[in-house]
Every structure is written in structure tokens, then in C-alpha cells.
Amino acid sequence: MGTSLLASCGLPWRYHQQRIVPYNHLLGHSSQGSLSSRAKVTAEFRESGSLDGENEKSSGFLKRRSVLVSGVSLVSTSVMGSGREGLAVVKQGLLAGRIPGLSEPDEQGWRTYRRPDDKSGGHGVGWSPIIPYLFSVPQGWEEVPVSIADLGGTEIDLRFGSSKEGRLFVIVAPVLRFADNLGTDATIEQIGPPDKVINAFGPEVIGENVEGKVLSMNVAEHSGRKYYQYELEPPHVLITATAAGNRLYLFNVTGSGLQWKRHYQDLKKIAESFRVV
């Protein structure tokens, strides 16, 4: 192989917590008091010149509150499936678990899922921000909960499924597991050629050696990023692999024999729609 494999990255998880102070605590705790008392206080502030300072502070607070509201609006837009491709800066959110990320159906009934910017890294991969990814699914596909005790592995970031057509899951793994000299902006080509990548990571997807199971390997390029595309059987599975930042992304679409036979074209379209944004 020529490249050292690491069993684990050994880096500590980092969670950046923010304390949110309720708005009503930032204002006075009591709204009571006589009108004459408040008038007297106002007069004293005016005489001492402090009223203008308080007005400035109040104005500054309102401006900061306005910025906070704008920020919440921006996050809400991205979570609900905005058509924008992404934010200039990737941030690690505190919100774990399932957050709505599906768009409204297009004319063909397909919906686009975009990983919400404020979704945390989750189990096993929370030590640095995850660059968002997206993919498309037909109507009827929905997100499936991922547990820390998920038997599929601690680095599964997302699961989707349709009882009619099949299921998919996304593995987001640190490239440090594969090599220690790829830096913080790795590409799939640096990790290795298509055959090396599938031999190293394919067993994590299907639970067994992939030798003799790879039917096809292709390389696609979108917006300057290379994607390795594989088809394996049995078991029937389509894998799209790429790298971004310090992460390896494995997008896996699978189904039963009957689902594969009836919905192969849809499953292939789902697999080929995967992008890191």
C-alpha cells in the first residue's frame, strides 16, 4: 500500500458551546415603579449627562439583537433547504441529530437534501467542521435516525430510506485514518487511485472484502472536485467517494435484489447526484 493506515485519529472532540442569555434578563427585572419616580430618574440622568450614554448602550444592544435575529434567519433559511450553494465559512453547529434538510419537490418529484450548516459533527467525527454535502432523492425517501450505538459504524453521519426503493447512508471519516500527510484540504486523488480507495474502504460499506465484487469503477469531476464511482454486487451497492477539507466522504446507495431490479435507474441517479458543496 505504501501509505500508513491509522486505526484511529486519537484527536479529542471539541464542542464549542455558547451561553444564550434570555432577553428579559438583559433588561430590568422589574417594570414597576411610579411614573414620578421614573421621571425623577430621567431628570437626574439628563443633568449628569448619563442619559445619552445609556441611549447609546441601548442602541448598541438593539443593533446586536438585530444582528442576532438576522443570524437566526440565515440559519433557518439554510436548514429549510435554500437554493443557495453554501456559506463562505463552514461552522460547526451545536444541533445534533435530525434537522430538516430536504427541499420542496421539483417538477419530476425529486427533492434535494443539503446537510444543514448547524448540524453538529455527531458521533466520532465531531472534532472539526464537516463541509456540507447534498444529494437528490425521489418522493417517499425520508431521513432515518442514526444512533451512537449504530452497528454500521460510529462515522455514519446520515441515513435515508424508502421502504419501496432502497436505502442510503453517508460515512464521513477523517483522512488521518488513511494517511498522516494529507494536510487540511485533501483530495481523493491524494488518498489514492480508485482501486486503492475501494479496497481500503469498501469493506466498511459492505462488511466484507470487496475482491471480485467490483463491477465498475468510474471517475467524474464536478466544479473541480473528483468523485470515484463504484458499483458492487452482491450485495448490490453503489458507492460515490470524494474528499474535502480533512474528510473522506463515502456515499452509499443500496437495496434488496427486488428493489435493485425494479428501481436501479433511480438508485443510480441518487448515487450520481452526490456533491460536496
Same domain flag for 42 and 171: no
In this predicted structure, what is the pLDDT of residue 127? 61
Number of domain units in the chain: 2
Of 79, 112, 144, the residue that ends a domain is 79
Same domain flag for 63 and 166: no
Q: Which run of H or E residues covers position 42?
A: helix 35-48
Q: Is residue 117 domain-resident?
A: no
Q: Is residue 111 domain-resident?
A: no
Same domain flag for 140 and 234: yes
Neighbours of 265 (CB within 10 A): 8
* pTM beyond cutoff 0.85: no
Looking up residue 161, the CATH number of its domain turns out to be 3.40.1000.10
206, pLDDT greater than 80: yes
Q: Is residue 164 domain-resident?
A: yes
DSSP-assigned letter for residue 1:
-
In this predicted structure, what is the pLDDT of residue 216? 97
- Measured between alpha carbons, how far is 135 from 237 in angstroms, rounded to an integer? 16
The range of the structural domain enclosing residue 222 comes to: 136-276
224, pLDDT greater than 50: yes
| Angle at 233 (CA atoms; ends 195, 275), nearest 5 degrees | 60
Question: What are the backbone dihedrals phi and psi of residue 173, each rounded to the nearest 5 degrees, phi first?
Answer: -120, 145
Q: What is the pLDDT of residues 138-171, one digit of tens each?
A: 999 999 988 767 766 668 999 999 999 999 999 9
Neighbours of 172 (CB within 10 A): 23
Q: Is residue 116 domain-resident?
A: no
In this predicted structure, what is the pLDDT of residue 120? 73
- Measured between alpha carbons, how far is 113 from 136 in angstroms, rounded to an integer? 6
In this predicted structure, what is the pLDDT of residue 1? 45
Q: What is the pLDDT of residues 189-203, one digit of tens each?
A: 999 999 999 999 999
Same domain flag for 62 and 176: no
Q: Are strands 166-174 and 156-162 parallel, antiparallel or unpaired?
A: antiparallel
Same domain flag for 75 and 160: no
Longest dimension (CA), the chain: 89
Same domain flag for 54 and 158: no
Find out whether 181 and 172 touch, Cβ atoms under 8 Å: no
